[in-house]
Amino acid sequence: MADYEQRDYDVLVIGAGGAGLRAAIEARTEGVSVGLVCKSLLGKAHTVMAEGGIAAAMGNVYPEDNWKVHFRDTMRGGKMINNWRMAQLHAQEAPDRVMELEEWGALFDRTADGRILQRDFGGHRYARLAHVGDRTGLEMIRTLQHRAVQSGIDVMMECKVYRLLKDDDGTVSGAVAYWRESGRFIVIRSKAVVLATGGVGKSWKITSNSWESTGDGHALAIWAGADMIDMEFVQFHPTGMVWPPSVRGLLVTEGVRGDGGVLRNRDGKRFMFDYIPPMFAAETADTEEEAERWYTDRQGARRPPDLLPRDEVARAINAEVKAGRGSPHGGVFLDIGSRRSADYIKRRLPSMYKQFKELADVDITVDPMEVGPTCHYIMGGVRVDAETAATTVPGLFAAGEVAGGMHGANRLGGNSLSDLVVFGRRAGLAAANYAKQRNLATFSDKLIEEITTAALSPFSSEGGENPYTIHAELQDMMQSLVGIIRTHDELVQAEEHLARFKERLGRVSIEGNRQFNPGWHMALDLESMLTVSTAVTMAALERKESRGGHTRDDYPQPDPELGKLNMVIRFSGEPPFRGEMSVTPEPIPEMPDELKALFEEQQH
Amino acid sequence: MSEIIMRLWRGDANGGSFQEYRVPAQEGEVVLDVVHRIQATQAGDLAVRWNCKAGKCGSCSAEVNGKPRLMCMTRMAELPLDQPITIAPMRTFPIMKDLVTDVRFNFEVAKRVPPFAPPPRQPDGTYRMFQEDIDRAQEFHKCIECFLCQDVCHVIRDHEENKARYAGPRFFVRFAELEMHPLDTNDRRLLLKERMGLGMCNITKCCTEVCPEEIHITDNAIIPLKERAVDATYDPLAFIIRKIARRKRPLPAEEAQASAIVTTPLSELADGHGDAKKAKAKA
């Protein structure tokens, strides 16, 4: 008989970043019992690395800002393929969620009249990001963490969910997890499950993501049979560090550009003026003179092209480097030191200053940074109902990066932190209400034993594959074949590689025992990474156009017809790889006329 | 390139020892990179915590050549590479495995900190605070909970028995951030003095020295808290003013409804340290 511990909750939340914490708090407020599982210690989730701010049309700096402008920016940034209702709810509710964080103790930087200060970011028409220097994510996670701990939520730290459990009628009713420390199993029964597991970046070599971002929630949803949308849209943040190799991919906040930094190539040229796409031409400055004027004259000048949405800037940098106009280590230059005072830079961007000083010997108040694209965020994820964050599988909810639709083909900076709290709250509320209608399910020992036996199988072979080697090779492969620029032939090659990786993972063997064994954890995380990588590759093959975070060299233009479709990934079979994954184009929900009108109005 | 010799502590709660690993040196690496290379090529089961690798999450705390540091922010080039580099787990916390320690003590203390308690909002729905009034508290919000200050604090470093009545520098910073929050209406001063062991700190500033966020823990958090705690007890005028103003409430009850934060159930740990109640399964 399987040896495991059991716990029961009304709502199980998987992941303790911004979305998971916010969901847990809301569910607890509804009076249900809540268990919160996280792979790391509490407070270390990837949210902590968010830098620039949280987007919310509060109008503190520009009173003319409102949810309609934010909504329009979000949809245009997402190349109009976003779930319009999610984008609308997000824009409408973000200001309340920011105020709520303040009420719970967050200390945002202030305006001169004592309100929350907002900063400029790419793709946002007005200065809209509430922030704390360049460590906004830390402020947010700590605020939510304190709130969660005080509200009586059970936090299961350093615990990984390996499989979801369904009851007889197919409702998600719990999970099998293991404690990372002891390697022992725990069966968590619950009446509803919220996925809030974040992203998938660890499948790429150059990434801003931590070890946790292995797409566990995406994979759990796929295995549970949930619809996945937009998986082809992966955001490469334009500015990651490129040197030294140890820090390659580490994020350099967009706030550097929001606060006056500009991109230059090897020749010192501000190359972004050569890459202004027609969609944004009407609102982007086309001379350096106008761009400079914008910092002090918002009415009389248009925005610098350095602040175009991330997909545009990442592609531009990629093109400059390919054309041989890059910096010595294969990036471009990001210069704020020659443009702003040292005091200003240290006050606005303290952690960037420290990061470059300590890790790269670069004083950013004097010298330019070398930056290049880094895999940062996946727009795609579990298809959810905008109001309730319910997935297409009963009992399963999803919020934050693991959910798809909100950001369409490309996410604007600052819209992630707001997404986490807006939809984290909605998911927690809906999951609690769902749980109130349900009873706990029971699971046979046989079922649990099958699952735990599978999890332990890497221990039973010797002299097999090293999980770290498979991971490193997967990262190289995804970087080169499913990266920023994609082609049909390379995507087909990627599928072949993925099939071989799956085979090799079956032959993996692990040193040591179950006690805090990162090699074993890697082997199990690879099941998620390979599943998610397959979904991304399949969706990327199917979308024969270029749009947002999906660029096809063989189809370089957007196709208006494809702009009306989501690529929907479905899987039927047994986790991790026994079954069929399919991709089906399906129409995106149509926007009501009154919202459509927002895009037809003259905006400048 | 030349070879680096790393001496890593390997073992668990039952004991262990330093083991030597030799790896080729590579340009621009930090200690955590080298530890990861050893893990990927020579010791697949080597336990080490990490997340952001950018000094922002505070996961990879360890003692590098005897000095408490973040491994991700310690560059190999600044270490004397002609000698072996020693990496040990934090000493103040019980060993789980290899470089990973049981830091649950900190999460337990966190539950006992009375929460932020703001007044109602302004009529326009906002809170008004001015930057100069929050600068002080914002310094404390920089804390990444690496627990290096706890690790180096004499009061608990070699005195397990003190942990029951001493919160430690990290939590004095947390108390300070709440006490100096312009909106907070809770009063935690007596609690600090009577249950959190504020008086046990003898201001040696070791915590300040190791803080990777350069928070002035001793000068800006602990000393002002000590002054306030004294005021709370002995200053009759301040006491009366407080009574009249009724802005601050006296000694708040510790949170009745605190969360259970657990890792592996304690019954399964070899040395069974900690409070067994915490581990009781809810089922």
pLDDT one-digit tens code per residue, A540-585: 999 999 999 999 999 999 999 999 999 999 999 999 999 999 999 9
pLDDT of residue A17: 98
Number of Cβ pairs < 8 A linking chain A and chain B: 220
Cβ-defined contact of B56 to A138 (cutoff 8 Å)? yes
C-alpha to C-alpha distance for B86 and A361, rounded to whole angstroms: 24
Q: Which ranges of chain B have pLDDT less than 70?
A: 1, 233-283
Active site residue A237: yes
Contact A468/B at CB under 8 A: yes
Nearest CA in chain B to A38: B263
Hey, are the CB atoms on B44 and A468 less than 8 Å from each other?
A: yes
3-state secondary structure A139-190: HHHHHHHHHHHHCCCEEECCEEEEEEEECCCCCEEEEEEEECCCCCEEEEEE
Find chain A residues with C-beta within 8 A of B75's C-beta.
358-359
- Partners of residue A159 in chain B, C-beta under 8 Å: 263
Across the interface, which of B98, B115, B282 has its CB nearest the CB of A150?
B115
Residue for token pair 């703001």 = B118
Q: Which of A414, A398, A421 is nearest to A219 (CA)?
A: A398
Which residues in chain B have Cβ-Cβ distances shorter than 8 Å to A52? none
Residues of A in contact with B37 (CB under 8 A): none
Whole-number pLDDT of residue B243? 53
Q: Please, what is the angle between helix B236-245 and helix B223-234, to 10°? A: 90
For chain A positions 512-571, those within 8 Å of chain B (CB to CB) are 512-513, 515-520
Q: Which of B264, B268, B273, B282 is the best mutation test for A, with the most CBs of A within 10 A?
A: B264
CB contacts of A105 in chain B (<8 Å) are: 115-116, 118, 178, 181, 184
With a pLDDT cut of 70, the percent of chain A lying above it is 99
Which CATH code fits A238-375? 3.90.700.10
Give the H or E element holding residue A335: strand A332-335
User: Is any Cβ of chain B less than 8 angstroms from the Cβ of A99?
Assistant: yes
| Partner-chain contact A103 B127, CB within 8 Å | yes
Overall size of chain B counted in residues: 283
- d(Cα A599, Cα A595) in Å, to the nearest integer? 8
Per DSSP, the three-state class of B123 is coil
The answer to whether residue A112 scores a pLDDT higher than 90 is yes
* Binary contact (A151, B257; C-beta < 8 A): yes
State pLDDT tens for residues A39-82: 999 999 999 999 999 999 999 999 999 999 999 999 999 999 99
**Nearest CB to A132: which of B28, B141, B265?**
B141
A2 confidence band (pLDDT: 50, 70, 90): confident
Residue corresponding to tokens 């040292």: A342
* pLDDT for the residue numbered B269: 35
When CB atoms are compared, the residue of A41, A154, A518 closest to B260 is A154
Question: A112 CA to chain B: closest CA distance, Å?
Answer: 7
Partner B contacted by A599 (CB < 8 A): no
Is A105 at the interface with chain B, CB within 8 A?
yes
Q: Name residue, tokens 């002035």.
A: B216
Domain coordinates of chain A in residue numbers?
Answer: 238-375, 457-579
Q: How close A419 gets to chain B, by Cα (Å)?
A: 21
What's the whole-number average pLDDT of chain A? Answer: 96
- Contacting A residues, span 155-174, partner chain B, CB-CB under 8 Å: 155-159
pLDDT exceeds 70 at position A238 = yes
Q: Flag if A468 and B40 touch (Cβ within 8 Å).
A: yes
Which one of A244, A247, A518 has the shortest CB-CB distance to B45?
A518
- Considering just the CA atoms, what is the radius of gyration of chain A in Å? 23
Among partner residues B27, B41, B130, which is closest to A244 by beta-carbon distance? B27
Q: What size, in residues, is chain A?
A: 604
The answer to whether the CB atoms of A44 and B41 lie below 8 A apart is no
Interchain proximity B126–A152, CB inside 8 Å? no
Cα–Cα distance measured from residue A380 to residue A222, given in angstroms and rounded to the nearest whole number: 12
Chain B CB contacts of A519 under 8 Å are: 39, 44-45
pLDDT at A600: 85
Residues A140, A417 contacting (CB under 8 angstroms): yes
Mean pLDDT of A314-334: 96
Residues B103-268, CATH architecture: Orthogonal Bundle (1.10)
Cβ pair A132:B260 closer than 8 A: no
Provide, as residue numbers in chain B, all residues whose Cβ is less than 8 Å from the Cβ of A109: 131
Task: Looking at the complex, report in whole angstroms how far the Cα of residue A213 sits from the nearest Cα belonging to chain B.
Answer: 10
Nearest neighbour of B47 by CB, restricted to A138, A151, A516: A516
For B34, the closest chain A residue by CA position comes to: A246
Q: For B266, name the nearest residue in chain A, comparing CA atoms only.
A: A182
Within 8 A of B48 by CB-CB distance, chain A residues are 518
Which member of A257, A264, A504, A550 is catalytic?
A257
Tens digit of each residue's pLDDT (9 = 90 or more) over A337-349: 999 999 999 999 9
> What is the nearest CA distance from A109 to chain B, expressed in angstroms?
7
Residue A422 CA, chain-centre distance (Å), reads 15
Inter-chain touch B258–A149, beta carbons under 8 Å: yes
User: CA–CA separation, A122 vs A522, rounded Å?
Assistant: 35
The CATH code for residues B3-100 is: 3.10.20.30
| Amino acid sitting at position A434 | Y
Cα–Cα distance for residue pair A344/B32, rounded to 1 Å: 32
In sequence order, the 6+-apart residues with CB closer than 8 A to the CB of B159 are: none
pLDDT at A3: 87
Residue A15 sits at the chain B interface (C-beta within 8 Å) = no
Q: What is the pLDDT of residues A251-281, one digit of tens each?
A: 999 999 999 999 999 999 999 999 999 999 9
Residue A298 has a pLDDT of: 84
Q: Which two tokens mark B53?
A: 């690798």
Residue A110 touches chain B, beta carbons under 8 Å: yes
Nearest to A6 among B56, B268, B283 (CB): B283
For residue B58, which residues of chain A lie inside 8 Å, CB to CB?
Answer: 44
Question: In sequence order, which residues have a C-beta less than 8 Å from that of residue A208 and are 6 or more positions away?
Answer: A49, A201, A237, A240, A249, A250, A251, A374, A375, A376
Q: Does A341 touch chain B (CB under 8 A)?
A: no
Q: With a cut of 0.85, is the ipTM above it?
A: yes
- From A257's Cα to the closest Cα of chain B, the distance in A is 20
**Chain A residues touching residue B41 (CB < 8 angstroms):** 468
| Angstroms from A597 CA to nearest CA on chain B | 31
Contacts of B258 in chain A (CB under 8 A): 149-150, 152
Domain A457-579 has CATH 1.10.10.10: no
Which residue ranges make up each domain of chain B? 3-100, 103-268
Which entry of A218, A237, A310, A425 is annotated as an active-site residue?
A: A237
Residue of chain A nearest B268, judged by CA positions = A182
Q: Is some CB atom of chain B closer than 8 A to the CB atom of A279?
A: no
Residues B148, A573: Cα–Cα separation, whole Å: 47
pLDDT at residue A204 greater than cutoff 70: yes
B-chain residues within 8 Å CB-CB of A211?
50-51
- Scanning every residue of chain B, which has its alpha carbon at the shortest distance from the alpha carbon of A112? B130
How confident is the model over B151-188, as pLDDT tens digits? 999 999 999 999 999 999 999 999 999 999 999 999 99
Backbone angles phi, psi at A119, to 5 degrees: -115, 160
Per DSSP (E only), the strands in chain B are: 3-12, 15-24, 61-64, 67-70, 85-88, 95-97, 100-101, 261-262
